[in-house]
Structure 1
Amino acid sequence: MKYDVFLFDLDDTLFDFGETEKRAFAYTFESNGFLNGLKDYRASYKTISKVLWDDLEQGRITLTELKTERFKRLFMQHGLEMDAEVFGQTYLKNLGKEVHLIGGVTEMLSSLTGSKLAILTNGFKDVQLARIGGSVLKNSFEAIITSEEAGYQKPQAEIFEYTFNKLQLTNKSRVLMIGDSLSSDIQGGNNFGIDTCWFNPQQEINSTTAIPTYEIQNWSEFNFIGESGWTRIGEKSL
């Protein structure tokens, strides 16, 4: 096998974050007396959240600031009189209760017996630990590394350096980063000089400067039959 170590992103790579977010968002608004919160505010929230997560990747905001700022902006936009900090804390607790695996994940991970597996995520530490701990994946990873813990976030090379030190890795050629985000997972791998696999189920067009080594649309394409089983982008298939 070409790789010994596999670093996985979590949201929208192994877990369906869209479903997780939808349910947690609805429950949090419902607990505050807004039964139509999902319908009335989610579209605005997603727009605000995307801007702030992009800011996080670029180092313009911290994860702690993001936790409250997204709801401050949402409530201001819609004229809602609520405490954004308290609401944000409740929302994170609800996120941690939601476990929705993407199809094929358990089978894919079971094929990696003997390899070193780790999570590398920009998400909130307590939320990610709760979700993994409440899933069938709870014993699958040697380490769960968050940007909160590392003090850096993908795509910064420093979070990969932190990961290598924690896992006692030295050979970059034997490590593969897998994730759905071109701007954080793939660009991060590029920045650090390791191979990457872009999980792209929506078959989006790559119009960025990030260059994945491989691209797959589903987990059944992610095979491990030795070096001959891996095909780089530009060749026929993975």
Structure 2
Amino acid sequence: MAVVQANQVLEDQSQIESGSFGTFVGVYDGHGGPDVARYVCDNLFRNLQAISAENYGVVTPETIRNAFLLTENGFTALVSESFNARPSIATAKVGNTGGVAAIQLSSEHNANLEEVRHELKTLHPNDPDIVALKHGVWRVKGIIQVSRSIGDVYMKHAEYNTEQIAQKFRLPEATAMPILSATPSIITHDIQPNDCFLIFASDGLWEHSSNEEAVEIVHSNPRSGIAKRLVKAALQEAARNEIF
């Protein structure tokens, strides 16, 4: 596991939990502050454990969805308690060669992807501005790129879209329904005998490394320190792009 701090305050969190139930890996990509990522790191797995215990320890897609919803509701309650003293909490959030084939196990919930924009337009048919192109980047309501998140409550509950939050986050009009969703997309992959490893990372890696490049690095090097090696490769690529 490796982390590079890109902002003044480290907004991202990660965790690995392992036991008789299997292995739980979380990479929480925060923006607008560290609050949600820290809250999710502290509560999502606990909620998953509690809910699965009610089902004799069995984890199903419904168990996972309920754990996300319970975590979302818990953080929204925290926002309700803290909003007047810390309105910024309402704008915080937490959104996979050499003979080895790379299989992407998840997709981004990012408005730059056409399928995500289509999903948003389908869910909000009466809002022509649900996505907007700003400075060459598609954003939800012209503000943020993610379409699903825990947090970002100002985009879900009108009472937090007030003059108390920063102007750059404020929506120009009240919304009839939540703009973002905390419902996760769930993909199941049956582990095969030839499967070698998994790479869990936020977009800080994938913006500068293709699936194939990341898999080749892991496949061709010792596992010890491999997370740092992936981060170093991404930083080197980012530096090259900045120069050229």
Structure (1 or 2) with the larger CA radius of gyration: 2
Which structure has the higher relative contact order (CA within 8 Å, separation 6+)?
1
TM-score (norm 1): 0.29
TM-score (norm 2): 0.28
Instruction: Judging by fraction of residues, say which structure has more helix.
Output: 1
